[in-house]
Amino acid sequence: MTTAETTEHHRTPRKLGLSRERRAIWEGRPSLPVRALKIIIIAAIVIIMLYPFASMIMQSFAGFGANMRATLIPSKFTLDAYRSILGGGIVTRAMMVSAFITIVGTAIAVVLTTTLAYSLTRTKDVPGSKVVLYLVLFTMLFSAGIIPNYLLVKELGLLDSYWSLIIPTAISAFNMVVIRNFFMQIPGELIESARVDGASDLAIFARIILPLSKAPIAVITLFYAVGYWNSFFNALIYINSPEKYPIQIVLNRYVLMGSPLDQIQNPGGVAPPPVSIQMAVVVVATIPILLVYPFAQKYFAKGVLTGAIKG
């Protein structure tokens, strides 16, 4: 048994699912007014969050001349907006571009971030690592601006390539700091006893730190995935070929600039109102990334455990 497994035996796993269905003895049932209050607040929050979304989705189904009523259901329901944006291939192509950038980018980012973060967790023992930490933190406060970054990308030959959207943003100092913080909360005894058994830093990293950090890693994976999926400004500056546009650029051009995508792909047909098209593009562009969260949530629910024995 590894050190991590022995320790696991001594602790009650905090699994959201388990402890709830079999309510722990120490959790009494809260009083009725308190429950009612909680429910009211939660309901209010849910409505405030969902209403605009619902409005957006309903609007994407609105036909021409339809009025959006308070009930949100448009007076003329139609799928025209979706037909017109998905028919021509521009939107689908952009989605694939974004998918590629997101998957590859996130993978690279998570690997680089976790390795760097771990290497900086023992600034007292590893000479020079404190300096490196400061160097990294410094970059959160100062940036260079559009032109110097552009020139760098150009010099590296990355202009107009998908890699220009992946590599320059490969590590977010913020994410690195967050996960470093989690790493540092893993109890020192676990690490010490592994070292006594002769494990190298790499082994400790791979066999102890990573398995115990599933939740924070899931968190930063999610952060990176959303970041890459939503990348917009870099694409605007670095990408010249339209077939390489990620979805946010396409979204921006059709939503903000109102370019007549529908007329290109469906001339002579009744054009759905521009607003419907815009909303449809938004819905289509946002859904894929929304689907990522439930997968990440699994990691939260599996109950990770890092016992931080403090006080």
Partner 1 sequence: MSSEHTSRLSRRSLLAAAGAATATAAVGCSSKSGGAASKANDKSKISWPHYVEPPTVPDAYVSKVKGVSPAYTRLPDTIEKSTDGKPGSDPSMKITSLQITWATPAAPYDKNPFWQELNKRLGVDYRPTFVPADAWKAKFATTLAGGSVPDILMLTRGADSNRAIKDGAVADLSEVLGGDKIKEYPNLANIPTFEWKDSAIYGGLYGTPMDSMYIIPEFKYRADWAKKVGMSAPTSPDELIALGKEISKPGAIEKGKTKYLMGAWTANNIHFIYAMYRVPNGWRLEDDGSLTNTIESDEYETAMETMAKMWKAGCLHPDGFALSEQGAKVRGMFSSGTIGFTDGSFSFWQGPQGFIEQTMKAQPKAKLDFLLPPGSDGNDPGFPSGPSWYLRTAISAEAAKDKDKLHVLLGMLNFFRAPFGSEEFMFMRYGAEGTGYKVKNHLPVMIGDSKLVANIAGLNYNGEGPSLLFEPSDPQASVKATKEYHEPLSKTCVPNPVANLDSPSSDKLSASLEQLDNTYFNDIVSGKKPISALKEYRAAWKKAGGDKIRREYQDALAKN
Partner 2 sequence: MRRSGWMYALMLPGLVYFIVFHYVPLAGNAVAFQDYSPFLGVQGSDWVGWSNFVALLTDPQAINAIKNTLIVSLLQIVFAFPAPILLALLLNSLLSTKITRFVQSVVYLPHFISWVIIVSIWQDVLGGAGPVSELFASLGLGHINIMTNPDTFKILITSQVIWKDIGWGTIIYFAAMLSIPTDLYESAACDCAGPLRRMWHVTLPGILPVTLLLLIIRLGHVLSVGFEQIILQQPAVGVQVSDVLDTFVYNRGLVGGDWGIATAAGLVKGVIGTALVLGANKLAKRAGTEGLF
Task: Look at the chain and count its residues.
Answer: 311
Reading the block at residue 141, the tokens are 């406060």
Three-point CA angle 259, 263, 267, nearest 5°: 170
Least distance (Å) from partner 1 to the CB of residue 18?
A: 51
Closer CB to partner 2, 86 or 226, in the complex: 226
Binds 112, which of partner 2, partner 1, none (CB < 5 to 8 A, cut-off by type)? partner 2
In the window 238-267, what residues touch partner 1 (CB under 8 A)? 240-243, 245, 249, 252-253, 256-261, 263-267
Least distance (Å) from partner 2 to the CB of residue 269?
A: 26
Among 275, 292, 296, 305, binds partner 1 (CB under 8 A): 275
- Strands annotated E in the chain: none
Tokens 């950038």 appear where? Answer: 101
Closer CB to partner 2, 168 or 260, in the complex: 168
Specify which residues 165 forms β-bridges with.
Answer: none
The mark string for 154-193 relative to partner 1 (x by CB under 8 A, - otherwise) is: x---------------------------------------
Least distance (Å) from partner 1 to the CB of residue 129?
A: 36
CA distance 168 to 148: 12
In the window 58-97, what residues touch partner 1 (CB under 8 A)? 64-65, 67, 88, 90
Specify which residues 77 forms β-bridges with.
Answer: 62
Encode burial over 129-156: b for 16+ CB neighbours within 10 A, e otherwise. Answer: eeeebeebeeeeeeeeeeeebbeebeee
Quick check: 249 and 235 in contact, CB under 8 A? yes
Least distance (Å) from partner 1 to the CB of residue 139?
A: 21
Contact positions vs partner 1 (CB under 8 A): 64-65, 67, 88, 90, 146-147, 150-151, 154, 236-237, 240-243, 245, 249, 252-253, 256-261, 263-268, 270-271, 273-275
